[in-house]
Structure 1
Amino acid sequence: MPSYRIGIDVGGTHTDAVILDEAYNVIAETKAPTTEDVSSGIYQALKEVVAASRVPVEEINYAMLGTTHCTNAIVERKRLNKVAVIRIGAPATLSVKPLIGVPEDLKAILGKYMYIVRGGHEFDGREITELDEKQLYRIANELKGKVDSIAITSVFSPVSNQHEQRAAEIIQKVLGEDVAVSLSSEIGNVGLLERENATILNAAVVEVARTTANGFINALKEENIDAKVFFGQNDGTLMSVEYTVRYPILTIACGPTNSLRGASYLSNISDALVIDVGGTTTDIGVLANAFPRQSSLAVEIGGVRTNFRMPDIMSVGLGGGTIIQVQDDQTFQIGPSSVGHQLSEKALIFGGDMLTATDVIVGLGKAELGDPSKVAHLDMTLLERIYSKMVHMVEEALDKMKTSAEPVPVILVGGGSILLPDTLKGASEVICPANFGVANAIGSAISQVSGQIEKIFAIDELGRKETIEAAKEMARNEAIVAGADPDDLVIVDLEDIPLAYLPGNATRIRVKAAGALKK
């Protein structure tokens, strides 16, 4: 029996959906407006693409979703869990309280229950002091009925996570398995405050992830589709529903990475720059071995500084719905505001009253959309100047993302990519592949499942070769838990950095394993 898969990706303007066959050929594609509640836009796109494909629903075996639900919840400060924050690090960390530097409105929601207990480890794995289990029992009993998610962070837990694990056991023994527990050693890297922030945000969006997953599964059931469900994560791979609910923070920024993976697949190029032009922004990322290049900097999410893994993406405020404000006949302002998913109502070519980037290219005859007569009155010289500035904005960002002065291949994807010409400064060639408009949904559908670990190891204990093999095995196990086929796993990324300031020949090792979905 043939096997098909659905890929859906939620963007700021459009929710894109595709159905692929076993050979990853596109059978049907659709774009539905992204809705305020996100979910109804997903259901609409799902219905449309299933109807357009005419594929028997019993032959759809996989469904992948790249979603902005968790990002939106943090940015909008809505639908967040009732969180308790437990830091294991007294007396060493008492001078700096949790959530320092976090915007006040978010701190008011997440900072109601904060505790610092005795415990934690030194940078070489030695205990700072014994874990105060009595206080943890007291805290757990105090929190009964008040919270539904707990963030636990211990000093240097990427080196030794013993205290975090023990604290989690105590919490779940008292509060039961229904309370979600997020451990910082499983989420962030070395750096206490940023890792703690990432863990708190993860704990805050567990319920959003669970609701989204259940909603997606129910939407599939309504269409009589019995498929295995996977979510996109921000390294360009997939994870199972259980894994998503445990680590929902990993869905943040999965949209741009889906576009990168889709661009690589559609163009058959594994090393290039990808420009994804949407309705609101243009996102530029770097493909290395067909996967997104990771950012080495701390990343802010909703005003909160974090240090968990994120793709290296630069966003420019230019998209198909970007509003162009003309002050007089000579001066103009491009963006950053956008009409977003209301492009088909508000743009001049569709009978609206806003001048958008799409109107500019239609006015210049570079694209055929809507009613060109509605922009025929505009001054062509002004339009040329606006267009030149739009292209320059992208070329400047492109230059910032490159690691050398040499021209590099550029893959152009996204529904708004008609905004850009077929030559760009700094690009050796500009490739616009077939199905470029739904590259993000295709990236979601074709993605592999991965597992990644980043830990500090003492090389002296096992020896260098055995330590790296142990790290690889940990990454493989993570991938299997996330839903990968154990027989199809390959190591796609390995990095080890000796840490001269730590004893025991310490080395930070990061390994990623990826493989096909488990059948």
Structure 2
Amino acid sequence: MSYRLGIDVGGTNTDVVLLDRENAVIAKTKTAVTADIVSGIRAGVGTVLQQSGVEGADITHAMLGTTQVTNAIIERRELNDVAIVRLGAPATRAVKPLAGWPEDLRERYAQYSWIVGGGHEFDGREIAPLDEAELATIAQAVKGKVQAVAITGVFSPVNTDHEERAARIFREILGEDIPISLSYQLGSVGLLERENATVLNAAVSNVAKRATLSFQQALADLDVHAALYLAQNDGTLMSVEYALLYPILTIACGPTNSMRGAAYLTGLKNAIVVDVGGTSTDVGVLVNGFPRESFVAVDVGGVRTNFRMPDLYSIGLGGGSRVTEVDGKVEVGPKSVGYRIVQEGRAFGGDTTTFTDVVVSLGKAKVGTHAVHLPEEVANRAYEVAIDKTAEAIDRMKTSAEATPLILVGGGSVLLPSQFEGVSEVYRPENYDVANAIGAAIAQVSGRVDRIFAMDQKSREEVLAEAKSIAIAEAIRAGAEASTIEVVEIEEIPIAYLPGNAVRIKVTVAGTLASYSQEQKVGAHASH
């Protein structure tokens, strides 16, 4: 018998689930997040192994969703020094790299920033020859001074030659071990936002490496030697090796894990998902079983990017949100006691009033170890404020006035009611509290392409086939079994302002884990 682990390291809790081959939950637990990551994961995995009686050696796959990369950018900690190279002179000198960045980050990274001759037109023709001599000079200048390199070429998603050649020059001089991020592998066609995403990806490569090594160490300590995967922010997985190349893709994977878990637990493919944690609530939308993607540029730690991100609306409301009264006005959040609710919340014997205490006081849920008695008027007003916030967030995410199914997940979702205006039915499925870890454990592996194609010399069918093949190759590189890959989404956007009958094509594909598929085949043969 083989088993899978799903692990989600959030802001307050580490959630762990153990699933069997049929994806049934065998055991689950929540433990407090620890500063070193290792001990929290080890404690959670140790608990589910003890609960289930399963041996560590019987676990074949382990999937991790983590906020470590997101937190590093937001908190400005453990970031690499990065050599930033734009291949676009003389065409792009008007706007320098890091334009629009927060001042603290811009001051740090501006010292190692260059614009070098090179880049392409939208149809792949060179704007200017690649200045290889200047690239070699830059590489020598930054040797021993930076921990990563970010290379961005004009229209590199159309023609990758200059970025690939620049990377080879840096590798020859800086060695094989330095992380080099290439923009065509990360962002969409917009130059500045794609460049920003590439620089951030390079900046967090060591953070991702530390998180991955911690993940491996925690499991090895428990004799778990499984195939390891990390969750990415479209609700799918990627191999550890792939994640170390593109750590930026783990940003916002927590809410997307919860959404995939919600879809799996309810069987619903189209619904609104409300994920309530200790500090915040994330609202997203399922479309055909996957999180709806944001169609606007997204800020990450104050930096505008254009790599794929889920369409989410977050509010500062959770189980640990503080309830305050100022000048007769009751507020719930955004300040929160977070994971300290089990020490500070009234329902657990503390003296801080939280949203959980309001719900317990009103008799709407049974949580904690102590009875809570708040003034009824204050409790009612606080509850109304919290529910109004949630209802507004749900309404913001709807694209029509029609009543839509709603799925409540996350440990704090027990605090919310079973009815909302504009909602056809509210689902709170079994194991809702660990939907994030379940979403990680059952996820598939994806690949995608987002490029501009010229159709003046090719048919639409040829261009679509080319785009699909690129996305499929990417999915295989991320760890998918080729025979299981299916097209999830195709989008065509004609671009009228470019010559050559240009069209922007987005293709997303997904398939099962390669190692898991092989294991299923072996199991099937053995059963015969």
Question: Which category of TM-score, normalised to the shorter sequence, fits these structures?
Answer: over 0.9
- Name 2:338's counterpart in structure 1: 340
- Name 2:473's counterpart in structure 1: 477
Following superposition of structure 1 onto structure 2, how do residues 344-493 of structure 1 map, counting pairs within 5 Å? 344-373=342-371, 375-376=372-373, 378-493=374-489
Q: Give 1:496 shift.
A: 1.1
Is 1:501 paired with 2:501? no
Find the aligned partners of 1:261 and 1:495 in 2 and give their Cα distance: 22
Find the aligned partners of 1:150 and 1:446 in 2 and give their Cα distance: 34
Paired residue total = 515
Q: What's the CA shift string for 1:111-157, capped at 9, x where partnerless?
A: 33111111111233221111111111111111211112100011121
Task: Give TM-score, length-normalised by structure 1.
Answer: 0.97
Q: Give 1:372 shift.
A: 4.3
Q: What's the CA shift string for 1:175-226, capped at 9, x where partnerless?
A: 1111111011111112111111100000001111111111111111110011
Per the alignment, in what secondary structure is the counterpart of residue 456 of structure 2? helix
Is 1:510 paired with 2:509? no
Q: Give 1:418 shift.
A: 1.1
Find the aligned partners of 1:37 and 1:302 in 2 and give their Cα distance: 22
Q: Larger deviation: 488-497 or 319-328?
A: 319-328
Q: Larger deviation: 384-393 or 46-55?
A: 46-55
- Name 1:230's counterpart in structure 2: 229
Letter in 1 for 2:111: K
Find the aligned partners of 1:447 and 1:16 in 2 and give their Cα distance: 16
- Name 1:301's counterpart in structure 2: 300
**Equivalent of 2:329 in 324, 328, 331:** 331
Q: Give 1:371 shift.
A: 4.1
Consecutive aligned runs of 4 or more in structure 1 exceeding 6 Å deviation: none
Find the aligned partners of 1:181 and 1:52 in 2 and give their Cα distance: 43
Unmatched segments (≥5 aa) in structure 2: 516-528
- Name 1:310's counterpart in structure 2: 309
Letter in 2 for 1:207: N
Letter in 2 for 1:408: T
Q: Larger deviation: 9-18 or 253-262?
A: 9-18
Find the aligned partners of 2:390 and 2:34 in 1 and give their Cα distance: 28
Find the aligned partners of 1:371 and 1:89 in 2 and give their Cα distance: 63
Please, what is the CA RMSD of the aligned residues?
A: 1.1
- Name 1:11's counterpart in structure 2: 10
- Name 1:179's counterpart in structure 2: 178
Q: Quick check: 1:260–1:287 contact (8 Å CA) kept in 2?
A: yes
Letter in 2 for 1:95: A
Find the aligned partners of 1:118 and 1:445 in 2 and give their Cα distance: 46
Find the aligned partners of 1:95 and 1:504 in 2 and give their Cα distance: 27
Q: Give 1:43 shift.
A: 2.5
Q: Quick check: 1:5–1:60 contact (8 Å CA) kept in 2?
A: yes
Q: Quick check: 1:362–1:372 contact (8 Å CA) kept in 2?
A: no
Find the aligned partners of 1:260 and 1:216 in 2 and give their Cα distance: 23
Q: What's the CA shift string for 1:405-448, capped at 9, x where partnerless?
A: 00000011110001110111110000010000000000000000
Q: Quick check: 2:123–2:453 contact (8 Å CA) kept in 1?
A: no
Q: Quick check: 1:82–1:204 contact (8 Å CA) kept in 2?
A: yes
Following superposition of structure 1 onto structure 2, how do residues 42-81 of structure 1 map, counting pairs within 5 Å? 42-81=41-80
Q: Quick check: 1:121–1:127 contact (8 Å CA) kept in 2?
A: yes
- Name 2:261's counterpart in structure 1: 262
Q: Quick check: 1:38–1:69 contact (8 Å CA) kept in 2?
A: no
Find the aligned partners of 2:401 and 2:345 in 1 and give their Cα distance: 38
Find the aligned partners of 1:298 and 1:357 in 2 and give their Cα distance: 33
Per the alignment, in what secondary structure is the counterpart of residue 392 of structure 2? helix
Q: Larger deviation: 151-160 or 399-408?
A: 151-160
Q: Give 1:322 shift.
A: 0.5
Find the aligned partners of 2:456 and 2:354 in 1 and give their Cα distance: 61
Q: Give 1:269 shift.
A: 0.6
Letter in 2 for 1:346: E
Q: Give 1:452 shift.
A: 0.9
Find the aligned partners of 1:10 and 1:197 in 2 and give their Cα distance: 26
- Name 2:162's counterpart in structure 1: 163
Find the aligned partners of 2:465 and 2:34 in 1 and give their Cα distance: 46
Q: Quick check: 2:42–2:221 contact (8 Å CA) kept in 1?
A: no
Q: Quick check: 1:363–1:372 contact (8 Å CA) kept in 2?
A: no
Letter in 1 for 2:384: S
Unmatched segments (≥5 aa) in structure 1: none
Find the aligned partners of 1:355 and 1:252 in 2 and give their Cα distance: 32
Q: Quick check: 2:2–2:60 contact (8 Å CA) kept in 1?
A: yes
Q: Give 1:44 shift.
A: 2.1
